[in-house]
Every structure is written in C-alpha cells, then in structure tokens.
Amino acid sequence: MPIYRFGKGAAPAWCEMENFELIDLARGESRTLTREEPKEEIIVCRGAVEVDLGGGRTAFLPQGGKLDSNEGGAGGLTIRAAADKTLVFRALGRWRSINGSGLFRVRLGDPPTHDTPYDYVKTTRFDNHYHDCDEYWIFFQGECRVASEGKLYDAGPGDCVATGMGWHHDVVSVKGNEEVLAVYFEGTPEGQKRRGHLWEPKHGKATPQPDRV
C-alpha cells in the first residue's frame, strides 16, 4: 500500500521521506519549525512566506519556492505567511540528496502517446513513467485515481503516494472538472541515476525494487 498520511511512523520502512506535513497559514500567521529529522525541505504550495533563518538572515519564498534544511540553523526556522490562504509543504527524512522537487498539476485531456503502455482506461494528460529514485506525490487540491506498482488507488488532499524506484506510476483520472494540484518529491538517485520521467519505449525496461511496495 503506497498511500499514507501525515504522522510519525506512517510511512513504509523503505521510505527516505519518513514524514511530511501540510501547513495552513493565514496572512501574518507564523510557525516555528524545530528541526526534527536529519533532512528537511519546505515548498510553498500556495501563497508566499517570509522565512527567518536565524542570525539575522531572511528569505522570501513565493508559490513554488523551496528551501532545504541546510539553509537554516541547527534549531530550525520560522515561516510567516505573506499572503492569504498560504499553504506550505514540509518534508522530513533521511535522504542523501534530492533528485528533484516542486509542484505539478493534472487536468483532464487526451493521454500522451510517448509514455510506457498501460492497460487501464485513462482520461488525463499525465504520462505513465518510472524513475531512478523513489518518488512521493503529496496532493493538496482535488481528488484523483492513481496507478502505482500495478495497482489503482484513490487519492485526495493530505494523501502521500509513495512509489519505489523502478515502479511505474501515473495519474489516471480526476474527479469532476477540478484540476489536481500536488507536490512531487524525488529522493536519492540510484542505479543509472537518470533524471526526470523515464519511459520504457525510450529509456528501456524498468527494474522495480520488489521490497518497495
């Protein structure tokens, strides 16, 4: 079962991203993030934040902006919402490096034709792909059906879909006409250490890790 929600110990044991949270802030509201894990990263999902890094250092992060724990002091950092209805994603874990991270959206549309073939009915423009790393999708708007390691799951706000290296994953459909918004977080590169989405017709057959399900 690759879907889990916020909570210590909720993630499967193989996950480098051991926990996460989605932080809602009203304009002017602040939150101090005390360091809890060896590695942490924040990504602004919606709105904007001013970040107090300690020692008189500050940073401004708009939507899509991100900051990892190495930029803050050992004790953590403080974020303050600079816009209405600000939402911040926080990843906590033990990754050695980050292959990639950011925001993505999914809409209804004609499926692409360049990706790995699949056997389910699909109604989105998203591509069926795999990675040379583990990947996590954290949804914060809209509801959808996803494919991961050969199974279909329903996902919505607050859900994390964890897909181990080499397993195909896809966003198959969205509920209603609302677009789906989510964070993607790719962990430590492995194997050939290729970046981005990989498709069997172009990049060769995937080699899923059987213990990461």
pLDDT for 25-52, tens place per residue? 999 999 999 888 889 999 999 999 999 9
Q: How many CB atoms lie within 10 A of CB 57?
A: 12
Q: What values do phi and psi take at 37, rounded to 5?
A: -130, 165
The per-residue pLDDT for 110 is 95
Tell me if residue 71 falls in helix, strand or coil: helix
Fold of domain 17-93 = Jelly Rolls (2.60.120)
Joined tokens for residue 96: 């050695």
d(CA 168, CA 48): 33
The per-residue pLDDT for 47 is 98
Tokens 């033990």, residue located:
94
- Distance of alpha carbon 147 from its chain centroid, rounded? 15
pTM, to two decimals = 0.95
Residues forming CATH 2.60.120.10 domain(s) in the chain: 17-93, 100-203
The per-residue pLDDT for 33 is 92
Q: How many CB atoms lie within 10 A of CB 138?
A: 25
Joined tokens for residue 196: 């981005």
d(CA 151, CA 128): 13
- Residues lower than pLDDT 70 in the chain: 1, 70-75
Domain 100-203: top CATH class: mainly beta
108 burial type by CB count under 10 A (0-12 exposed, 13-18 middle, 19+ buried): middle
Task: State the sign of the Cα–Cα–Cα–Cα dihedral 170, 120, 118, 209.
Answer: positive
Amino acid at 10: A
User: Do 209 and 2 meet the contact criterion of CB atoms below 8 Å apart?
Assistant: no
Joined tokens for residue 82: 């600079």
The per-residue pLDDT for 1 is 56
pLDDT for 59-70, tens place per residue? 999 999 999 876
Of the CA atoms within 13 Å of residue 185, those in its CB half-sphere come to 29
The per-residue pLDDT for 69 is 76
DSSP 91: E
